[in-house]
């Protein structure tokens, strides 16, 4: 057991059932908690009142309140983690740095550099699995290669699964009180000091009660019904994937399968990081996109003349959320009807979605474009009208966001869907020959 260690909170903003925090408490006499606002990540955030930044900030305030009751402080840094974190560890004479693993390419590169820096100081950086139940190297084919199709991945995932994987890590009990290093009062930086202001949007609490989960398989495709709103909480770790999966295991296999989709896309991103900027299937990079900027702006604003597409985009712009069924419809429309590069849509979603997560967002857009690992065939092109008739026949969802529907104020369709479909098929066939 070492004298002092640092635990670095990242995508795990909670004291309960936190793997890295638990390991730090187990292996150290004293533990110092730290969080860092990464300037490289914040520089990509375009809106100064981004609700995700406000959510993180408020969660840190809540964490700090809990820690102050235990006699310590959450240190909050702002800068380049490759410089700030090793300096913090050295300044506080810590022997070990603990954190939970992150599988995104930037995070992997960042952690590798920090590990090398600490090793040169004679210190260790220990990473633990926390944001997934089964990690990217745990669900592989019999030959050791990664799965690239969801269904066989899901079956292997379930064959590898044991309920013991959902056992919580007791990181918020008596050990937490004993091992946290006393610290002097240290105020968090203000949002304005970070370059942001308080957001007008509130991140909703997730819905995971038994009634919701038991009916999930019946309502999951109907946009007029509320969904769990869990994505943002898993993204930033305010909810433990183990406790969420345990509820799904008890009440809803359909919901469990969606959580496995999340881990599938993380596995794809980890094994095939080129998907961040390129198509998973390289031949799809030869598509001759039209990329009309004015048409893209109409799509962004929800002014396409296709009610379900417009409802989805307006919901996104207004609330930072969009129902998953509608996400598929608006993505198909952008990529197939307008022949606009899926990366444009992916980037817009990344800017607007409260529950944005690189792996799932990238996987979903490549699925819609047909370019992904487990994609809809390129000739599958969603018809917005038939999708509306099937999933919102009474216009309950659409009228919430497109109140002018049925009046002369509503726009005419910006394209003829049948003609656009023929055009898309022609362009795709030519690229894939």
**Annotated catalytic sites, by residue?**
258, 261, 289, 324, 342, 365
φ, ψ for residue 419, nearest 5 deg: -70, -40
Q: 378 with 428: CB under 8 angstroms?
A: yes
| Lookup: tokens for 55 | 């959510």
Q: 300 with 313: CB under 8 angstroms?
A: yes
- Among residues 315, 323, 327, 314, the alpha carbon closest in space to that of 384 is found at 327
How far is residue 339 from each of residues 15, 276, 310, 342, 417, measured CA to CA in Å?
A: 46, 20, 17, 9, 12
| Lookup: tokens for 404 | 């002018």
Strands (E), 314-428: none
How far is residue 350 from each of residues 109, 300, 380, measured CA to CA in Å?
A: 21, 13, 24
């Amino acid at each position: 057991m070492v004298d002092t260690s640092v635990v670095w909170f990242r995508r795990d903003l909670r004291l309960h059932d936190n793997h890295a925090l638990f390991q730090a408490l187990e292996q150290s006499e004293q533990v110092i908690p730290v969080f860092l606002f990464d300037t490289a990540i914040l520089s990509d955030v375009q809106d100064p009142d981004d609700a995700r930044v406000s959510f993180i900030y408020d969660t840190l305030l809540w964490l700090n309140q809990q820690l102050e009751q235990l006699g310590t402080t959450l240190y909050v840094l702002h800068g380049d983690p490759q410089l700030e974190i090793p300096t913090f560890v050295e300044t506080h004479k810590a022997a070990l740095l603990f954190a939970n693993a992150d599988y995104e390419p930037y995070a992997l590169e960042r952690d590798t550099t920090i590990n090398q820096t600490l090793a040169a100081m004679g210190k260790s950086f220990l990473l633990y699995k926390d944001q997934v139940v089964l990690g990217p190297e745990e669900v592989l084919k019999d030959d050791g290669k990664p799965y690239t199709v969801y269904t066989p991945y899901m079956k292997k995932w379930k064959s590898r699964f044991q309920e013991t994987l959902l056992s919580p890590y007791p990181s918020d009990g008596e050990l937490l009180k004993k091992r946290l290093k006393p610290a002097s009062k240290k105020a968090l930086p203000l949002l304005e000091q970070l370059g942001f202001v308080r957001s007008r949007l509130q991140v909703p609490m997730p819905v995971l009660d038994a009634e919701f989960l038991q009916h999930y398989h019946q309502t999951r495709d109907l946009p007029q019904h509320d969904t769990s709103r869990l994505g943002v909480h898993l993204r930033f770790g305010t909810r433990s994937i183990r406790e969420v999966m345990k509820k799904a295991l008890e009440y809803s296999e359909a919901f469990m399968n969606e959580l496995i989709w999340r881990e599938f896309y993380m596995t794809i991103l980890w094994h095939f990081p080129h998907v961040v900027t390129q198509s998973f299937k390289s031949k799809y990079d030869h598509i001759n996109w039209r990329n009309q900027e004015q048409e893209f702006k109409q799509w962004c604003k929800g002014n396409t003349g296709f009610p379900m597409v417009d409802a989805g985009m307006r919901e996104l712009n207004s609330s930072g959320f969009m129902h998953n069924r509608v996400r598929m419809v608006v993505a198909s429309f952008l990529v197939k009807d307008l022949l606009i590069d899926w990366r444009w849509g992916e980037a817009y979603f990344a800017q607007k979605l409260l529950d944005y997560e690189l792996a799932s967002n990238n996987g979903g857009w490549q699925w819609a474009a047909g370019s992904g690992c487990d994609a809809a065939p390129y000739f599958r092109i969603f018809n917005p009208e038939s999708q509306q008739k099937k999933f919102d026949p009474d216009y309950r969802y659409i009228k919430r966001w497109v109140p002018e529907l049925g009046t002369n104020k509503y726009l005419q369709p910006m394209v003829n869907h049948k003609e656009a479909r023929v055009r898309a098929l022609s362009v795709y066939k030519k690229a894939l020959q």
